[in-house]
Structure 1
Amino acid sequence: MSGDIVQLVEQASPYLTAAMSAYGGVALARAEDSAAEATANLGRRFLQAVWRRRTEREQAALEAAIHEAAEDTDDPDATAALRHQIKRAIREDADLLKELAALLPTPASGSVTITASGERSVAAHAIGTAITGDHTQLTWPPARQGASA
């Protein structure tokens, strides 16, 4: 079951990040908005489902993790702390795993999901060449080996 939990939380990560970016620390209280914010709304519903199944003390810890992750969405430690809270809740409530899995879209058979998150992130699938960095210069066509200039 722990492998299922890790996979579920990894699959939910883009939605959680979108909710943190769009709503910040009020992700639990925010009302659902337009379809344009579908990703963030799904992340918000995911967080609310976890929150509803926690005790008052656990809800406070989850809210604190949400606020910290929302304050700096690029902080991997804050994001990891939030994911840890979610994983703990799922481990303690087998029905929650089913509820959360039902919220997430089912990937098409054979599909690949790639997520780039954070400033200047790059994500690719089946790409020949990816060049990143500041002040990169390319010469085309490439010089042939052994050719004189």
Structure 2
Amino acid sequence: MSAELVQLVEQAGPYLTAAVSAYGATVLTRAQNAAADGTAEVGRRIVRAVWQRRRRPDQLALEAAVEAVAAEPESPEAADDLRRQIERALREDAELRAEIAAMLPGAPQVVITATGERGIAAQHIGTVVNGDGATVRP
């Protein structure tokens, strides 16, 4: 497993625990709550995103892991199983991995703005020619 994936799951862990502690097993079906604790809300969004992207057998395994943590919030085994479920989903789905990474506080937010008539906006750029009659030399 990549170091990036391990770091992502470790970073998500406290949010997952807070969400299950706050919402219990309803974390999978609960609507967004603007008044909820920020940590629990991030965890709820992570669990929901993973659950929605899984097939039914994997959803059932995730539900069981969430219910185990809700029943025994202090159980390291239950928390580890929940993290393993999340980890498996992230390992198998790069889009989900990016979505979860963006949910976590401190995730780099990329804002690219171009202004002006011939403005250019890009996150990564090589050579750009923006003008009439320009000559590019190596």
The number of residue pairs the alignment matches comes to: 108
Name the amino acid aligned to 2:21.
S
Q: Would the aligned equivalents of 2:101 and 2:107 in 1 still touch at CA under 8 Å?
A: no
Instruction: Tell me the equivalent position of 1:71.
Output: 71
Equivalent runs, 1:1-149 vs 2, <5 Å: 2-106=2-106
In structure 2, distance between residues paired with 1:99 and 1:36? 21
In structure 2, distance between residues paired with 1:5 and 1:96? 12
Q: Would the aligned equivalents of 2:12 and 2:43 in 1 still touch at CA under 8 Å?
A: yes
Moved over 4 A (4+): none
User: TM-score w.r.t. structure 1 length?
Assistant: 0.68
Q: Deviations over 1:56-113 (max 9, x none)?
A: 11101111111001111100000000000111111111111101001111179xxxxx
Q: Would the aligned equivalents of 2:50 and 2:96 in 1 still touch at CA under 8 Å?
A: yes
Q: Secondary structure at the match of 1:35?
A: coil
Give aligned-pair identity as a percent: 55
User: TM-score w.r.t. structure 2 length?
Assistant: 0.73
Q: Could you tell me how far 1:36 is from its partner in structure 2?
A: 4.4
Structure 2 residue ranges without an equivalent (≥5): 109-138
Q: Could you tell me how far 1:34 is from its partner in structure 2?
A: 3.5
Q: Would the aligned equivalents of 2:9 and 2:87 in 1 still touch at CA under 8 Å?
A: yes
Structure 1 residue ranges without an equivalent (≥5): 109-149
User: Cα RMSD (Å) of the superposition?
Assistant: 1.6
